[in-house]
Amino acid sequence: MASPTLTSTPHPAAEPTPPGASRAKDRGMDRGFRYLSIASGVLILLVLAAVAAFLVVRALPALKAGDAISQDVGWIGAGQSLWTVIGPLVFGTVLAAIAALAMAVPVAIGIALFISHYAPRRLANGLGYLVDLLAAIPSVVYGLWGVMVLAPVLQPVWDFLVRWLGWIPLFAGDSNGNASNPPRVLLTAALVLAVMILPIITAVSREVFLQTPRLHEEAALALGATRWELVRMAVLPFARSGIVSAAMLGLGRALGETMAVLMVLSPGMLYSFKLLVASQQQTIAANIAAKFADANAMGVSALIATGLALFVITLVVNMAARAIVARRKDFSGAN
Amino acid sequence: MATLEQVPDSTEALRRALTQVDPARKRKDVVMRVLVYLAFALAILPLVSLIWSVLVRGLGRFDGYFLLHSMRNVFGGMDAGGAYHAILGTVLITGWATLISVPIGLLVAIYLVEYGTGALARAVTFFVDVMTGIPSIVAGLFAFSLFYLLVGPDSRSGIVGAVALAVLMVPVVIRSSEEMLRLVPNELREASLALGVPKWLTIVRVVLRTAVAGLTTGVMIAIARVIGETAPLIITVGASNSINNNVFSGNMMTLPVFVYNQYGSGLVACTPGDASCIPTINYDRAWTAALTLILLVMLLNLVARGVSRLFSPKTRS
């Protein structure tokens, strides 16, 4: 096939300008473009620094106010300082995220194994796309579904848990020994969070499982391993650090997720492990979204201070996860 | 073994040992297989339930009236009101976020692929990864604080929300663009440079043009990712019942916030016998808006896939 570009006219600018001038101009453009792209790389670092800096600047008034803050901010009780409210919020945030993680990780590993090693080859891609669809659904829709569809279904399950497993502190009932009704409790919110973080954990673990060296798998099969023994002896040991980092990425998501908790959970400000009783815990993100609209200047400052705490927590978790992934890349043996 | 002397028996035993799996191992294998299949079913269950309930509860009001009317002068259990103002707000704010994040994201990707070496490139790569983990509400707080310092306390407007969404969008755009630019074969760059084309022109005319389909796909998927963000918009843009098409002043409604607000309005207390009052009207609107939002996201995803299939460069391998 004849290529039409062969007969194209020469560069229009080349004719009138002498070659030297054009080259100088090109060099200038080259340098300009190079600096522009480097500058935007630096901009990314600056934005991240700015996020931290602006949050600190705006949080300072509340951090410095001490006990006097309770006079200005309605949701901080008399005699309390900012620190006594950040504590329960951090506790609630971490508790919800860990509960979500505990439910999501085993299922996500199962799904990833299903797609990488169990499903028929032809179906695997389509099924993987189905799981990715979960990530495409907006969080507010998850919240709406969680509170209006999922919660009523869960009520009998939570009642059952309280009745038979109530001796475990996590599943303790309220003062009457019942699960709260309606079940706007932490475990319901955590379950919605678990569904929301499934796709990311699945996607990362699936990638890692697929990287298992072919030779390891074939060696296991040649020794007469069953499918599960292949997974346990070749795939899982190879993927261990990948699973850990996938779980931490999921943890980062769960820590910062707002809407599902905001819409599902009935908030409280206690250090309480009761997952099935309403009005016990609250997360930082949901607290900010709930209180921000009516907050006065000091209230906004206090909320931003809690946001700063959330930012630091998620930053640490994400950096740890990324560091594990990066370390893995060098020594994985797959590349 | 004792059977070693009896030759026919030994071959029989050997054959059995080679063709049959120890029942305990086999049982374990089957149990794990069932568990793995169950895990997959467990993930599909909420997806099906969610889509089913959004369809069943949302389709009833999903019509031209809903898409083309705002909530202005709609109150109580009136059988009226729609999401036009919210759709408009979502389109405007997401559009501005795209306008801000795509040039930055593209340039950073070009830096990483074409120029980046050494400590700076490593730092940028690492922090872009970290940036994907910024909670959306923190991005909202950042945009709010930024504009608070720039224009004062009364800064709530669409553009603040657009900045917040851009902070969330930039890392996604960088990641996908970087991947696409790395797919461009090096021979193309070398051929262009060998012909005396300066590097920046090589990047603009050869590299970007080859990757344009993938870049478009990546940007659309990034849009789909942020279009459903709610929390940062609650903080930065607020809510409104009327149409506001100026992103630089005043509260705006967006689809996700509309869903949240309608849900928050709860059941309407109708006077008995008032046939024109629908108690569940707010929930109905919330579900229909949720349906609209999901359709918008799916549409973006589908178009993105179509673009990458139709316009990807035809490579002769």
Q: Is the pLDDT of residue B239 over 70?
A: yes
Q: Which residue has the tokens 């630089």?
A: B248
What's residue B284's pLDDT?
93
B298 within a domain of the structure (yes/no): yes
CB distance A270 to A233 below 8 Å: no
Q: What is the pLDDT of residue B118?
A: 83
Q: Given this model, what pLDDT does residue A120 score?
A: 87
Closest CB to B28 among A51, A130, A228: A228
What is the reported pLDDT for B150? 86
pLDDT digits (tens, 9 = 90+) for B84-113: 999 999 999 999 999 999 999 999 999 999
Positive or negative torsion for Cα A153, A154, A159, A163:
positive
Q: What is the percent of chain B with per-residue pLDDT over 70, rounded to a whole number?
A: 96
Q: What is the pLDDT of residue A6?
A: 45
Give how far A174 is from chain B: nearest CA, Å.
Answer: 26
What is the pTM (predicted TM-score) of this model? 0.87
Given a cut of 70, the residues of chain A with pLDDT beneath it are 1-23, 326-335
Q: Is residue B43 a part of any domain in this protein?
A: no
Confidence (pLDDT) at B153? 76
B28 touches chain A (CB under 8 A): yes
Residues of B in contact with A152 (CB under 8 A): none
Looking at chain A, the whole-number percentage of residues with pLDDT higher than 70 is: 90
The domain in which residue B279 lies consists of: 64-311
pLDDT at A121: 83
ipTM of the complex: 0.88
The pLDDT assigned to A137 comes to 92
* Predicted local confidence at residue B206, as pLDDT: 92
B128 and chain A in contact, CB less than 8 A: yes
If one compares B139 and B272, the residue with the highest pLDDT of the two is B139
Cα(A197)–Cα(A102) distance, rounded to whole angstroms?
11
CA distance B136 to B143: 11
Contact A289 B50 (CB under 8 A): no
Q: pLDDT grade, residue B40 (50/70/90)? A: very high
Q: How many domains does chain B have?
A: 1
pLDDT at B211 over 80: yes
Residue B268 belongs to a domain: yes
| Average pLDDT, integer, range B253-259 | 95
What is the CATH classification number for the domain harbouring B123?
A: 1.10.3720.10
pLDDT of residue B96: 96
The residue ranges of every structural domain in chain A are 61-331
What integer pLDDT is reported at residue B259 of this predicted model? 95
Mean pLDDT of chain B: 89
Q: Is residue B7 part of a domain?
A: no
Which residue among B121, B135, B149 places its CB closest to the CB of A285? B135
For helices A236-256 and A82-113, angle between their N-to-C axes, nearest 10 degrees: 140
Interface test with A, best of B15, B21, B36 (most A CBs within 10 A): B36
pLDDT at A150: 94
Beta pairing partners, B157: B250
Is B247 within a domain?
A: yes
pLDDT, position B1: 47
pLDDT for B312 equals 67
CATH number of A61-331: 1.10.3720.10
pLDDT of residue B293: 95
Interface test with A, best of B200, B229, B282 (most A CBs within 10 A): B200
Q: Tokens in use for B140?
A: 């909202």
